[in-house]
Structure 1
Amino acid sequence: MAVVAVFNQKGGVGKTTTTLNVAAALVMLERQPILIDLDPQAHLSLALGLKSLPGEACASAYFLHDKPLAQLVRQLPNGIRIIPGHPDLAKVDSMLGGVKGVAAKLRSGLNQLGGDNSPVLMDCAPALSVLTLNALFAADRVLIPVTSDFLAMQGLHRTEIALRVLEKPLGRAIERRMVVTRYAEDKPQCREALATLKQRYANELTEAKIADDLALAESPAHGMDIFAYAADSTGAHDYRVLTMELLSKGFFE
């Protein structure tokens, strides 16, 4: 069971969009991913049409009440399985922040989930909270969406520093891949940022890029992934290519 954290310390770079649509592409490629929404805003859950769920049916029930993760997995009609997010996740820092070994709680729960070779993708909030630390400690790999602009580059630098710091207590290198999102070839700043990314992170940057496609912004409002909403769109093509590239590199193994 490969465990992947989708993370960047900067918000608005496409973490939720990437988690959702990579998972949908994996389903199309006959993989059966499990998503975990670790953001108190629960945008991933909302994008999949899950609204007003009780806290006891969501990821918060595991962190706050030790409800087994297996009991929280929800099967959706599109083939995706998800442990939904909930605003109660915002309580985790204050309630568990001082608990010894809390960063390993999610890893322990995933081990108990066991017996399933499906990839797990975790949508993380853009902050180094207790929840995000749990995701990074549990993850085999990290997927980092990054937009091609100056502020996003600064956020990526901070994310890289955070991952390097975490490698010491983990006792291992954190394998990561970066994917450029909201890319517009006709914008000079996008081309310049991409060139900088290639220079600095040549071995970690995916060849696939995600275009700035309106359909990607529209689909969550309909509770749909990009393939269900606009199968012939540029966004659908790009996420399919990205997922196939990651699969070919063994990212989900």
Structure 2
Amino acid sequence: MRIAIFNQKGGVGKTTTALNLGAALHRSGNAPLLIDLDPQGHLSSIHGNIPLASDKSLFAFFQDQQPLQSLEVAWEHIGQLIPAHQQLIKVDSIFGKGPAVLNKLRLGLDALEAAHPDRHCLIDCCPYIGVLALNAIFACDTLLIPVSTDYLSLQAAEHITRTLQVLEPVMKRRVNRLYLLTRFDRRRRMSEDVRQRLCERYGDDVLDVAISENVTVAESPSLQQDVFRHNASSTGAHDYRSLLAELAERGCLPITTS
């Protein structure tokens, strides 16, 4: 299954969610493929040992027609990563927004899944609508939308809803979307207010799990670690285990056991 993690607002936990959900999958025995679709390359920087050349990154898939499998880098405790590069910022200007480029990632993943049919894929998106984010939306089975518990994030969620309303007639399907509350602080009234408003607007599309405001979650990327390696007994680690369990229960990330 493919999950794209996207919000048009920065700082809501997209990369942190990709990292820790990937780590949770690995710990369950279902090591995933992570794709860094953000020219800023935050997810790739957490890996800490990726090739620096653009022809070893996702840019080579768009620019040079390199197959995705040739760009994979092993990531201990996670699975595999296809890293980003700053050159990805050029994709919009080089390719425009025609149907061929918008479906490029979907077709590439279709080919890749022939060799890895049971491997889940998590796509960390850039925080704006362009060719890269549209590729992720066209390719994914589920769009996971992190919403930090502030009112600007609520507005960003509404922007995404309007974007999907425009895209879905073109795609000829409804994009399955789930809203994930992040940076949730139970001591603050605003957190509960944002949760209530989100549930009123999106109902069952809002996940029951919320990712708490947590020091371990915040610190671990700077140490090039996922939350489980940093502190497996932390609240943050518990939240991401619960997130995986809920996604599995909803059929978005089926977990296989050996």
**TM-score greater than 0.5 by the shorter chain:** yes
The answer to whether the 8 A contact 2:3-2:141 is kept is: yes
The 5 Å alignment of 1:89-238 reads 89-97=88-96, 99=98, 101-115=100-114, 116=116, 117-238=118-239
Q: TM-score, normalised by structure 1?
A: 0.96
What secondary structure does 2:204 align onto?
coil
Which residue in 1 is equivalent to 2:75?
76
Residue identity matched to 1:48:
H
What secondary structure does 1:9 align onto?
coil
The answer to whether the 8 A contact 1:140-1:175 is kept is: yes
Aligned length: 252
Which residue in 1 is equivalent to 2:23?
24
Distance 1:26 1:52 in 2: 24
Distance 1:203 1:250 in 2: 14
Q: Are residues 235 and 177 of structure 1, via their aligned partners in 2, closer, same or farther at CA, if it must alter by over 3 Å?
A: same
Residue identity matched to 1:17:
T
Q: Deviations over 1:152-209 (max 9, x none)?
A: 0000000111112111111011001111000001111111111111211121011111
Residue identity matched to 2:252:
F
The answer to whether the 8 A contact 1:41-1:86 is kept is: yes
More moved, 49-58 vs 6-15: 49-58
The answer to whether the 8 A contact 1:48-1:225 is kept is: no
Q: Deviations over 1:112-166 (max 9, x none)?
A: 1122121111000111110111111111110010011110000000011111211
Residue identity matched to 1:202:
G
The structural deviation recorded for 1:9 is 1.0
The structural deviation recorded for 1:32 is 1.8
**Identity of counterpart residues, as a percentage?**
40
The structural deviation recorded for 1:98 is 5.3
Q: Are residues 98 and 76 of structure 1, via their aligned partners in 2, closer, same or farther at CA, if it must alter by over 3 Å?
A: closer
The structural deviation recorded for 1:47 is 1.7
What secondary structure does 2:203 align onto?
coil
Q: Is there any run of 5+ residues in structure 2 with no aligned partner, and where? A: none
The answer to whether the 8 A contact 2:51-2:57 is kept is: no
Residue identity matched to 2:47:
L
What secondary structure does 2:207 align onto?
strand
The structural deviation recorded for 1:247 is 0.8
Residue identity matched to 1:106:
L
Residue identity matched to 1:177:
L
The structural deviation recorded for 1:25 is 0.3
CA RMSD of aligned residues (A): 1.2
The structural deviation recorded for 1:79 is 3.8
Q: Is there any run of 5+ residues in structure 1 with no aligned partner, and where? A: none
More moved, 91-100 vs 226-235: 91-100
The answer to whether the 8 A contact 2:97-2:131 is kept is: no
The structural deviation recorded for 1:34 is 0.4
The structural deviation recorded for 1:50 is 3.5
The answer to whether the 8 A contact 1:49-1:222 is kept is: no
Distance 1:78 1:106 in 2: 25
Distance 1:84 1:98 in 2: 22
What secondary structure does 1:67 align onto?
coil
